Chains A and B, each alone.
Chain A
């Protein structure tokens, strides 16, 4: 685990011996173990998407009509919120790498704020849909819509716990594990990536 000191050489400098030898270092951000989760979840979601697309082709008329009930503006807002959250997360990691922990903390909080705004937007959208008579059991399209957005939201809620780990790490001068910060950031970006795919499939693809 890479511990970051309050002062001294840039964090992470000690783990790049290849750079010292004049070669570009190959570095996997965070724990390589986290990439097992990322790849595994990517495979599981690929299976979900494949099943969705299969049924979409089988019931294209129904899916198109149902899709029209979704608000593309809310979907776009959701996407912008999560992309912005990823940008703040990136800045958080960069600041932590540079030893600028105050800035890293601020960016971590901004990431959380964007995530919370996404959560609020998604719940609002669900409320509006249910109020309009579209529920999990209404038809094939809304079954997939509520499932995919729901399972993604669950990932986002786990992301809030992960954000808590980042803030906990950054707050204590004795902790500040850059590896953990990068590991958590990897998870957050995965949640973002999954949303972009879900947004494309549910809102954009015609």
Chain B
């Protein structure tokens, strides 16, 4: 059956990704104040106070995340799709899908669960709240191995690809992003300073790299959809946009 706009599903996945990252930023930064992460060296009393101070933000914010966390699936699928469009083995796309599906647990959900429990059980012993606080934030910042390998898988696919699906420089940018996943590892050791989970190097430098990387991959995936011809050879370069009303298929919204 002929489809009217074969790119519609791809645009759906792309906009879903953009919407998810908007939710992510709003919830994690201004609503819950889970990012930038609060201090790792706080005492039990200060941690309990933090939970009390952010009570409503944590419940509302992570409630939203629990509702929309599944939006990461179309994003992962779109990235896997980019690898399926390349002249490389399907092993790359499948590996990426599996890695990032698992990565959502330590890289997103554990933090939300642990901090939500802390917010919803304020009468618990402050030492237990502190344990939840450490567990949530360490699982979030310290389990980057899955993201490291995922970035390397995408990088390798891009560098081996002959269909010019994504530019080689973006492949190399994946390596830069992967290296930041190593830099965050000392957060398990240090309670204060530049390598703690909210440190100047472990968090601030890494978040700048991640921000640039996220902006780059959203832009490149957008271009990929614009260029997609649904063939299996080299992806054509972008031509000048058609005049309005000329055709719906293949045009960027």
Contact = CB atoms under 8 A, between A and B. Distances in A.
Contacts of B81: none
B194 interface: yes
Nearest to A154: B182
Interface string A136-155: 11001001000100010011
B217 to A, nearest CB: 14
Contacts of B209: 44
Contact of A37 (B173, B180, B182): B173
A31 interface: yes
A158 B201 CA distance: 21
B171 A33 contact: yes
A47 interface: yes
Contact of B176 (A31, A44, A136, A140): A44
B96 interface: no
Given A51-B194, A151-B179, A151-B182, A34 B172 contact: yes
A127 interface: no
A41 interface: yes
16 contacts: A32-B169, A33-B168, A33-B172, A34-B169, A41-B176, A47-B205, A47-B208, A48-B201, A51-B201, A51-B205, A137-B189, A143-B190, A147-B195, A151-B179, A154-B182, A158-B175
- A contact face: mostly helix, strand, loop, or mixed: helix
Nearest to B209: A44
Interface of A: 31-34, 36-37, 40-41, 44, 47-48, 51, 55, 136-137, 140, 143, 147, 151, 154-155, 158
Contacts of B186: 136, 147
B193 interface: yes
A143 B190 CA distance: 10
Residue with the greatest number of chain A CB neighbours at <10 A, chosen from B169, B172, B200: B172
A36 B200 contact: no
A41 B176 CA distance: 7
Contact of B172 (A37, A136, A154): A37
A143 B193 CA distance: 10
Contacts of A55: 194
Contacts of B169: 32-34, 36-37
B73 interface: no
Given A33-B172, A51-B194, A154-B179, 18 more contacts: A33-B169, A36-B173, A37-B172, A37-B175, A41-B176, A44-B176, A44-B179, A44-B205, A51-B200, A51-B201, A136-B186, A137-B189, A140-B193, A143-B193, A147-B195, A151-B179, A151-B183, A155-B179
A48 B205 contact: yes
Contacts of B190: 137, 143
B210 to A, nearest CB: 12
B167 interface: yes
Nearest to A48: B201
A154 B148 CA distance: 13
Nearest to A54: B200
Interface in B93-115: none
Contacts of A143: 190, 193, 195
Interface in B31-85: none
Contacts of B180: 44
